Structures are given as C-alpha cells and as structure tokens.
Amino acid sequence: MATYTQTVTSKNSKFTAALTRKRSDGGIQLQSVVWPNGHIGSASTTQMGMFFAKVDANGHLTSEEQIGGVGLSGTNVIPTNREATPLGFPPNPWKPTQALTSYTKYFLLFKEYNGISNTWGDGVNNISGSSVDSFEFIALPAPSVSAVTQTSITVTTAASAGNNTYSVAVYPDNTSGAAVKTANMTVSGSTASATITGLTANTTYYVAVAGSPDLSGSGYVYGPTTAVTTLKNAPGQAAISLLGFATTTSLDVTWGAVSGAETYEYYRSTSSTAPTSSTTPTATGLTGTSATISSLSSSTTYYVWLRAVNNGGAGAWSAAKSATTQSAVTAPGTPGTPAVAKGAKPTREAVVSWTGAAANGGTVTYSILRSTTTTKPGTAYATSVTTPWTDTAADQGADYYYWIRATNSAGSTDSAISAKHTPQTLIVGGNRPKRIWVGGVEITGLWHGGNRIF
C-alpha cells in the first residue's frame, strides 16, 4: 500500500499525533500519539482517550470512533497495532483502510474521562471544554493540475466555506518519498490554488492538497495524490538529408531522427524566405523520418524547412532544401511525314523514315500504321519501332501508305500520310513470280542492267 505519515500537533499543544494516509484514496489511520505528563483538564479525571470525530457546523459531534485510552501517568504512545483491545475500552479501533468524505471537517480529539464516563469535560457535547484538545483538518480529494510547463505546475482544489488555510505538497513518488515542494495556497472565492516552480522537465510528480481551519494546530493532513508529468525540453534542430524524387506534383523529403522528438512538421514555400517560430507549418504530426509533399505545381521550385516537436514545444527550423518538380506531360508533338524508299529487296521491302516528335515532358515511343488505301487504320501495324524502319512484308506491285504514331503517357499523335509506295515488280514469262529457285537453291537477288530487281 502506498502510504505516507504526517505529524501534527493539537491546538493547545497537548498532544502530537502521527497520521498515516493512503496516497491512492486518502484513507487514514492513527499511527501513534504522544502527550506530556499530567492531564489536560480537571485533576479528578483518571483516564485519557483518543477519538476521531466528525462535527457539524456548530462544532457539535455528529459521529466519533474511539481509538484507545490509557492511564494518566507518564508519557504514553498508543501502540502501532490498534486491532487489539486498547486498555479496557471496547475493541473498536480506527481501521487502517478507513476512507474520508471529501470536503468534510474532521477532528482528532484527545479528551479526559472521569472514571469510565463517556462525556465531554464541559458536559454539553461540545469540543470547547477544558478537558479536550484537538487537531482539525478538512479532508480533500486529489487536486486538479493545470498549466504544466517544464518547470512548473498550477494546483487547484475547491475551497470550503469558512476561514480555512490550504497547502499543497509535491512528492517524487507515490510510495513513501518525502515532499520535494510545499506551498500555501491562495483562496479566491470557492477555489484555492498555488503555482509550484523549480521542477525538473520530463519528470513525474505526485501532488496532494490539505486544508485546515484556522487555529487548528500545526501540520497538514494531505489527501490522495494526482500524478502529473512535466513537459519535455523542446527538441534540438532538425536537418533535412534529402529533398528530391520529384514528380510533376510531389517531392519526397527525408531527415535524420532528432533526440527527444515526438513528431515532425515541415513548411514549404515557393519563396526562399525562412519561416519564423510563429509561422504556421504546412504539415504537422509527422512520424518516422520521411514524407511526401504533394499537391504541388509542375515545373516549380520549392523550398522546404523541417522542425522536431514534442510536448515541450518545437525545435528550431532546419536549413532550407530546394528542389524543382517535373514538367507536366502532354501528348507528343506531330511526327514528321514519313518518307518511304526502296529496301535492299525492292520487290518486297520498303524503308520508312521520319523525324521525331516533341516529347512534351514524357517519353515517346513510335508505331507504324500501314494501309493499301489512303484510309488510316486504327490499329498499329508495328509497335516500338525506331527510324529508319524496314517493312519486309510488302507485296511487289501493291500500293502502300504509311503513318507514324508518337505516344507518351499523356496520349498519342499521328503524322500525315506518306506518299504512295509500290514495291518493284519482277516479270518472268509474263508472270510475276513470288519466289525463284535455281538447282534447288532460292534466288535471293536478281540484277538487270546493273540494277537489283529481285
């Protein structure tokens, strides 16, 4: 159980008590009580007892629970184990796990008994008698904590009616460590608050508050704690390692990890003017060490700055990196009108050549369209060709027309129609042979008058 012990002294300094509180829910137990020799009030009293009580607004008891009683002589300490029957009184000790009602006033009462009489010394069921001394406190719940920075916090709790004082304590753990900071709280209306400074960044603390009516004695009884972690120190400056891999509408940015960073954010601009600490970032909440900057314009130079962020703030902007997006791709320009010439085998080959088309930001490939009429076909005859290209399947004596189609990622553009080309015809015995063999060997070339005719 996470507990801590606090020592308090009664109004009239007749006793000192050690109270143990549970830090989780504020439960309380009496650890020990010490009083001086003699007695408080009348010399005719023969015993003393400790009571834990709630009282109404007029100071009258509403409930009480006996803790123990002893004889008058000597200096006395109630044993740590209160579960045993305490010296002749009924076995009804204050239990270690007893919880308190928030914003309620409690009294730890030390009173004398006349014999075994269970009456107050003044006989009016009031706490003001000469045979009674007490320590009073207000049971408070865990406080609210706000305005957290690297080195300070603001603590608030509801302030009950009456002339009361409030205190706040800051602990390094939720077990048994002593408070590292305490402060009196300022009451304004129905709220008590205090700002605690001098804390360490990125450190978890446990905060409790206490309230006591004026003249209640010395010491505070702190309630359960609220955990709070101070902010981290802002991270160091980031550095962009690469800005590139451009497309027409995006750029990729990469950077090195920054110690203490939780996220990153960048600012991009077409101006080289650096951002300031108050400049609104283009993108926030980035994790990892890379990002794609999108929705950009083509053929445009951009400047990019980066900074690291954590709950303590943002680091300094990095130095700028710049890069230019690619040009937008449009359909290619018009290829040159194809020129068609005889091939090495003029009766069945045609050589087609052309001038290339403007790429317009893309990569251009070429196709051949072929027809025996002037009507352009819709489907390419040959694809992925380069100039010059040889048609090796033309029939001699037939008429052929050619077009060039240039294509990139944005579309295609066709050339004008070529001039008509008719492969040369070979006549043998009044017939046009397709193939000629001599002695079982195919003739692949035939010349007449110094010209190749087949």
* Burial label, 187 (beta-carbon count in 10 A; 0-12, 13-18, 19+): middle
Do residues 356 and 427 lie in contact, with contact meaning Cβ atoms separated by under 8 Å?
no
| Strands of 36-103, DSSP E | 47-55, 61-71, 76-77
How many angstroms separate the CA atoms of 266 and 285, rounded? 10
- Same CATH topology for 240-324 and 339-414: the answer is yes
For residue 78, the model assigns a pLDDT of 37
Both ends of the chain: CA-CA distance in Å? 108
Residue 350, classed as helix, strand or coil, is strand
| Span 339-414 CATH architecture | Sandwich (2.60)
Q: Token digits for 390?
A: 């040889």
For residue 98, the model assigns a pLDDT of 52
For residue 53, the model assigns a pLDDT of 55
For residue 181, the model assigns a pLDDT of 94
Q: Token digits for 209?
A: 């508050």
Scan for tokens 């072929």, then name that residue. Answer: 370
Q: What is the largest CA-CA distance in the chain?
A: 162
CATH of 240-324, one of 3.40.50.720, 2.40.50.1070, 2.60.40.10, 2.40.110.10: 2.60.40.10
Looking at this protein, which amino acid is placed at residue 426? L
How many angstroms separate the CA atoms of 222 and 377, rounded? 94
Q: Tell me the helices (H) and strands (E) count for the chain, helix number first.
A: 0, 35
Taking alpha carbons only, the member of 312, 321, 257, 318 closest to residue 293 is 321
Taking the model in full, what pTM does it have?
A: 0.63
Do residues 105 and 54 lie in contact, with contact meaning Cβ atoms separated by under 8 Å?
yes
Q: Token digits for 171?
A: 């602990």
CATH code of domain 144-229: 2.60.40.10
pLDDT in 10s for each residue of the chain, 454 residues: 466 677 888 777 767 777 776 666 666 666 666 655 444 444 444 445 555 555 555 555 555 444 444 333 333 333 333 222 222 222 333 344 456 677 777 766 666 544 434 443 333 334 444 456 777 777 788 899 999 999 999 999 998 756 578 999 999 988 767 889 999 999 988 899 999 999 999 999 999 998 886 656 777 888 888 999 999 999 999 999 999 988 889 999 999 999 999 999 999 999 999 999 999 999 999 999 999 999 999 999 999 999 999 999 999 999 999 999 988 889 999 999 999 999 888 778 899 999 999 999 889 999 999 999 999 999 999 999 999 999 999 888 889 999 999 999 999 999 999 999 998 776 555 454 555 555 555 555 555 555 555 5
Taking alpha carbons only, the member of 210, 228, 306 closest to residue 265 is 306
Q: For residue 34, count other CB atoms closer than 10 A to its CB.
A: 14
Digit-coded pLDDT (tens) for 293-326 = 999 999 999 999 999 999 999 999 999 999 999 8
Do residues 232 and 222 lie in contact, with contact meaning Cβ atoms separated by under 8 Å?
no
Phi and psi at residue 361, in whole multiples of 5°? 90, -5
Scan for tokens 């006033």, then name that residue. Answer: 105
How many angstroms separate the CA atoms of 15 and 377, rounded? 113
How many angstroms separate the CA atoms of 130 and 438, rounded? 148
| Strands of 343-453, DSSP E | 350-353, 365-371, 382-385, 389-391, 401-408, 411-414, 437-438, 441-442, 447-448, 451-452
For residue 30, the model assigns a pLDDT of 64
Specify whether the backbone of 361 is left (phi greater than 0), alpha (psi in -120 to 50) or beta. Answer: left
For residue 433, the model assigns a pLDDT of 52
Segments making up each domain of the chain, as ranges = 3-139, 144-229, 240-324, 339-414
C-alpha angle with apex 131: 128 to 136, nearest 5 degrees? 50
Q: For residue 126, count other CB atoms closer than 10 A to its CB.
A: 15
Digit-coded pLDDT (tens) for 28-84 = 666 666 655 444 444 444 445 555 555 555 555 555 444 444 333 333 333 333 222
Q: Which long-range contacts (CB under 8 A, 24 or more apart) does 281-284 make?
A: 281/307, 284/309
Looking at this protein, which amino acid is placed at residue 401? Y
Phi and psi at residue 142, in whole multiples of 5°? -60, 140
